[in-house]
Copies of this chain bind each other. A is one copy, B any other.
Amino acid sequence: MTTAEQIERTLRAAGLRVTRPRVAVLTALTAHPHADAGAVLAVVREDLPDVSHQAVYDSLHALTAAGVVRCIQPSGATARYETRIGDNHHHVVCRECGDIADVDCAVGEAACLTASDDHGFTIDEAEVTYWGLCPRCAAARSTRATT
C-alpha cells in the first residue's frame, strides 16, 4: 500500500512542494489508475471538499511535467492519468465502455521504438493503444446476439 508518507516522499523527490491538493491527487491516482480529471476531482473532494477544479488541473500538470504521473488520451476520450510510469507499458481500451487496462509491451522494449521509415523524425517514444472489448462488454454483446 502507498502511504501518505510515501506520497510525500515521491513529491519531494520530484522537486515539488508538498501541498494538500497534490497529495490528494496523487493518492487518488494511485487508487484509481486511468481516472480522468473529473474523476480525480470527485475523489479528491471526498477528502478535501473545497478544492477548486483548477487546483486539480494544476496538480495534474505539475505531476505530469515532473514525470510522476503520465497522461494518456485515447481517441474520443478525455485525458486520463496514471502513476505507473517508466516501464514502457501500453493500454487496451474498450470501445464500448471506455474502460482501460494496462498491457506490457508485446514485442520487446526495443522493437517498439523502431519505425520502418521515420520520415526524418527523431522518435523518442512509441505509444501503443489496443482497441477492443472488455470482458464485460463482450459478454453483454454476445448475450444480446443470442437472445
Contacts and interface: CB of A to CB of B under 8 A. Distances in A.
A101 interface: yes
A140 B79 CA distance: 29
Interface residues of A, number: 43
A121 B92 contact: yes
A135 B120 contact: yes
A115 B125 CA distance: 18
Contacts of A68: none
B119 A124 contact: no
Interface in A122-144: 122-135, 138
Interface stretch (A29-37, A46-54, A104-112): A104-112
B132 A121 contact: yes
A115 B133 contact: no
B132 A117 contact: no
A132 B119 CA distance: 11
A71 interface: yes
A129 B71 CA distance: 14
Given A101-B121, A120-B135, 16 more contacts: A90-B115, A94-B121, A103-B117, A103-B119, A104-B116, A104-B117, A105-B116, A107-B114, A115-B130, A121-B132, A121-B134, A122-B132, A122-B133, A124-B131, A125-B130, A125-B131
Interface of A: 71-76, 79, 90, 92, 94, 101-107, 111-135, 138
